[in-house]
Amino acid sequence: MSKNHFFIFNPKSYLYGKELEELARTADKVAKEVDFEIYVTAPYADLYRIKEATENITVCAQHLDGINPGRGMGAVLPDSLKEAGAGAVFLNHAEHPLTLAQLVQAVKRSKELGLTTIVCANTVEEAKAVATLGVDILLCEPTELIGTGQVSDESYVRDTINEIKSIDPNVLIMQAAGISNPLDVYNVISLGADGTGCTSGIVKAGNPKEMLVDMVKAMELAIKGENYDSSL
């Protein structure tokens, strides 16, 4: 499977339990048909359930605390997430920001456990700082655009890609602000992003399963350099 591109379905707290499992199964099915990674995030309590129900996706936790087994009542233990089936983790999302010290420790513990790190950044300057931490995926997403349906402008996309790659050419770059339909997915990948993802555009769609599949297919077209088919 290609390690250079990826799509992330991040339902946040919109979905859980059986409804989330059904969409995860849809993602798992389409993941067999494409040559790139598909991640599905899940609430902590659903990680094991989603892992048991799927074979081809990477199950992703929405956060962790950079602690070791021991004291830490109420904290999110990285080792527990790994044991539950998580293969990746989101860190520093706008809805769960971390201090620099917390982020450094969280990345360290994730690496120790072999968890793929997906770290969020708001501005170009913040993205450049995060790029020095050796993260796997850097999500460049202006906070004010999250959930608005308004995508990042081309200059932001190109600037963040160029700046980050100059610091660490190995980090994969995700652009996902305002992604709400397959054409948005196609366009952002065509601009040079390694990956993208979606929350509300999928969970609030008339047919979430169909939207998820159509977005993945649009991404595949962009990666191959083929024209977008509006009939998707």
- Pick the closest to residue 136 from 190, 98, 103, 173 (CA basis): 173
Give 151's DSSP letter. Answer: P
* Catalytic option among 5, 37, 93, 220: 93
Confirm whether 93 is a catalytic residue.
yes
* Catalytic option among 33, 141, 163, 226: 141
Contact 187, 196 (CB under 8 A): no
In the chain, which residue ranges form alpha helices assigned H by DSSP? Answer: 17-31, 47-53, 78-84, 100-113, 124-131, 154-167, 182-190, 200-203, 208-224
Confirm whether 141 is a catalytic residue.
yes
Q: How big is the chain by its Cα radius of gyration, in Å?
A: 17
Its sign, for the CA torsion 91, 97, 100, 102, is: negative
User: Which residues form the catalytic set?
Assistant: 93, 141
